[in-house]
Amino acid sequence: MEKQLNSDQPNTIENKFNKLIIIVSIAIPVVVAILFGIKLKDYGINVEPLTFLPPIYAVINGVTAMLLILGVYSIKNGNKKAHQNFMQAAIACSVVFLVMYVAYHMTSDSAVYGGVGFIRYIYFFILISHIILSIAVIPLVLITYVKALAERFDKHKKIAKITFPIWMYVAVTGVIVYLMIAPYYAY
């Protein structure tokens, strides 16, 4: 008689990725925080400020949100391959965003939000929640993806119901934060 895998036990694929998920989930925010504080010009590296990047990575956030919606739409309509492609594209967009975000902040001074009054509180609420959830979504996306790789679709679906709204919030608020701070960029 074949031994059945307990659905609560991780399988080989999941075990293989568990440590990596933990390492990546910690390393990305730490490395981004460190790199965020490094300005290449302070180290004698003369690089032209990449001030053209913020609108590009804002668009990438918008594209990520659309890919997430298309991915959910696809799976609800039974198209697993399209779902997989949309979700992998969303992950790729998130990685490209992160690289551009770090490159911008390593070459350019951060824009300072100039709004006053109540809108200032709204901006900082959106910004802070965006940052916190962008850190929290890293392990969620990775775990959700690994559950799919391991063909643990029951677990994948369960965690995806948590991952999707958080990832969507991060993508959409990324665009909102850009739109709110865009008038204060020094181009």
Amino acid 178: pLDDT:
96
CA angle 162, 11, 67 (to 5 degrees): 35
Residue-number span of the structural domain to which 74 is assigned:
47-184
Burial of residue 60 (number of CB atoms within 10 Å: 0-12, 13-18, 19+): buried
5: in domain: no
The dihedral through the CA atoms of 161, 136, 85, 64 has a sign that is positive
Q: Give the number of domains in the chain.
A: 1
Contact between residue 152 and residue 11 where contact means Cβ atoms under 8 Å apart: yes
105: in domain: yes
SS3 state at 48: coil
Cα–Cα distance measured from residue 182 to residue 103, given in angstroms and rounded to the nearest whole number: 18
CATH number at residue 93: 1.20.120.80
3-state DSSP helix/strand/coil percent for the chain, to nearest 5? 80, 0, 20
Cα–Cα distance measured from residue 11 to residue 14, given in angstroms and rounded to the nearest whole number: 5
Q: pLDDT tens digits for 66-109?
A: 999 999 999 999 999 999 999 999 999 999 999 999 999 999 98
* Residues of the chain above pLDDT 90, percent: 80
144: in domain: yes
Structure letter (DSSP) for residue 43: G
Its pTM stands at: 0.89
Amino acid 165: pLDDT:
98
Is pLDDT of 7 > 60? no
129: in domain: yes
C-alpha distances out from residue 187 to 46, 110, 111, Å: 17, 11, 10
9: in domain: no
17: in domain: no
